[in-house]
Structure 1
């Protein structure tokens, strides 16, 4: 019954009807320290990147990196290798206001930050210069929440995935108010809905559903899910296997309406890549067909500009903490119009 009830959601996905033209990504920036988030500034088209291991946010100006927000604290993540992490997900509320999901503090202390970004060429802001929400601290037997990996904005609401509470797997919501920021709150317990770990990717569909990518276990199984929720009721409308290892980023093309995702593939980075996600029917049931468009080494996020160009961050295999041993190899890529 679930796929029948949620069938209108399929209108936001498109059937694959033609072979994808050969894609040749252009390297915009390289040598980045574990880029984890990307967003395109409205009106200007300027691309912003969260360079998490460098504890800063940068933007591309005349083909070069310019620091916009600097000196974030840093936390550590992973068990061999271990990476320094700071700012994670990015999204714009409007031309001047940038939302940053943070990973720089301990779970239960981390916040979502909002900055009024300076104009090109102006002095970079300090991490503490922006407004910040309340943390999602421990509440009884509910552990403190953190690692706000990806961010999506719709009307007066900001949504972010969080990866602190493995038992519930939260999407958090922040209400935007005229005077400052509202309260950051636990919004959807995604694991309770789908029994799969780790909400990571998030976006808003053309029909205004909250679309979440559940990453699943960090292993060699394609256990990621593509899920749709109603914003008002929080009801799970549809949950479909995504045929991807670790779905960490989602974005809709403004030109075609098609949905795209990136697979980080923790267990085997060589399997990572950019995918187009199409709605098809198998044995009379609605499913997702994940078509791999290009191989990518640990992609982390993606964002379109108004022209339909796609920007993708690639984590790389070193955070640059010791350049002689593990030089930073992160990149920002651009894929031309047509997706």
Structure 2
């Protein structure tokens, strides 16, 4: 029991007990997107970047309008009823000019983590293949281990980049790239999440204040409420704490900068009406640490989130096209007042 109590205290920064709900304001920043799957904020400029996955682009928001930054990614198909076109996925900035992008438009085992020096606003966009400064990977097949793809979530520390890998027919891994500034090592398998938690599909990822790796395990898309929140040691890759959340399919995780509270997006593949932005509050049941997911806002198929310095959060949603309409239903939203 002493060991478990110490572990709970060590992971306490991920949530801070039950907090009263605030009045949340939701603003549509961009509409007409096609399966947006990743979002990041550029340091110094504050520009929001989005992987508009279904069009094979990375775009940025400048004065409320979309501007192409990287174009020309091929597309693959993800999902089983419905199915979605996907191209670039996870995004993260390492500094003002260095953007890291996870592949989603190639075959499993043939996808890379790509690094770009992004042009200034108003400049010509980069070519997805030709203008990548670095191509790190892939995670090819290794004996009985299948090649991994769908490099969905990215999180960085001063010494490493962590990548969730969730291919169409694989167990899923958290991969790791050692780094020294913008000098990079290989993309290597690091944490076999399925073996440690017995649930498929690591998707969301972030780093907590203690430097631990925090993963949202999406689980099976045809199984309700099997999403897990799991903490791993960055040094050993071993599981520290694993909690059921009652969420369907966790796609994004992030800590609010002002409160330190942890938030998650739930895609809710089986029941889209149940999807949204949730705050994850710590609970204790019979002396055992658990988590309560408190719904903050209803969202239509949310895929990623990122917090701004002012505490607002940007969320990408795939959305649902209205009957008889063929337009793109995806959007970038801004939620404030959390």
TM-score computed with the length of structure 1 as normaliser: 0.94
CA distances 1:260-307 after superposition (whole Å, capped 9, x unpaired)? 000000011111000000111112111001000111000000001111
Could you tell me whether the CA contact under 8 Å between 1:220 and 1:268 is conserved in 2? no
Answer yes or no: is 1:152 the counterpart of 2:187: no
Partner of 2:49: 48
**TM-fit CA distance, 1:167:** 5.6
* Matching of residues 54-133 of structure 1 within 5 Å: 54-128=55-129, 129-130=131-132, 131-133=134-136
Structure 2: unaligned runs, 5 residues or longer: none
DSSP-derived class of the 1:49 partner: strand
Structure 1: unaligned runs, 5 residues or longer: none
**TM-fit CA distance, 1:175:** 1.5
* Distance in 1, Cα, partners of 2:156 & 2:181: 16
Partner of 1:32: 33
Could you tell me whether the CA contact under 8 Å between 1:317 and 1:326 is conserved in 2? no
CA distances 1:76-106 after superposition (whole Å, capped 9, x unpaired)? 2223333221000111111111111110100
* Matching of residues 205-244 of structure 1 within 5 Å: 205-244=208-247
Could you tell me whether the CA contact under 8 Å between 2:148 and 2:172 is conserved in 1? no
Q: 2:190 aligns with which of 187, 190, 201?
A: 187
* Distance in 1, Cα, partners of 2:295 & 2:89: 25
**TM-fit CA distance, 1:132:** 0.9
* Distance in 2, Cα, partners of 1:81 & 1:273: 19
Could you tell me whether the CA contact under 8 Å between 2:39 and 2:91 is conserved in 1? yes
Partner of 2:17: 15
* Distance in 1, Cα, partners of 2:102 & 2:283: 33
CA distances 1:129-149 after superposition (whole Å, capped 9, x unpaired)? 112112110010000110001
* Distance in 1, Cα, partners of 2:101 & 2:182: 19
TM-score computed with the length of structure 2 as normaliser: 0.95
* Distance in 2, Cα, partners of 1:179 & 1:12: 28
* Count of matched residue pairs: 334
**TM-fit CA distance, 1:68:** 0.4
Partner of 2:294: 291
Divergent runs of 4+, >6 A? none
DSSP-derived class of the 2:12 partner: helix
**TM-fit CA distance, 1:5:** 4.6
Answer yes or no: is 1:135 the counterpart of 2:102: no
Cα distance, 1:186–1:229 mapped onto 2, change above 3 Å: same
* Distance in 2, Cα, partners of 1:224 & 1:188: 18
DSSP-derived class of the 2:107 partner: coil
Answer yes or no: is 1:306 the counterpart of 2:305: no
Could you tell me whether the CA contact under 8 Å between 1:59 and 1:66 is conserved in 2? yes
* Distance in 1, Cα, partners of 2:109 & 2:175: 13
Cα distance, 1:327–1:165 mapped onto 2, change above 3 Å: closer
* Distance in 2, Cα, partners of 1:324 & 1:118: 39
**TM-fit CA distance, 1:181:** 2.6
CA distances 1:7-59 after superposition (whole Å, capped 9, x unpaired)? 120233111132x1221210000010110010111122110000000100001
Question: RMSD between aligned alpha carbons?
Answer: 1.8
- Structure 1 window deviating more from structure 2 (80-89 vs 30-39): it is 80-89
**TM-fit CA distance, 1:220:** 4.9
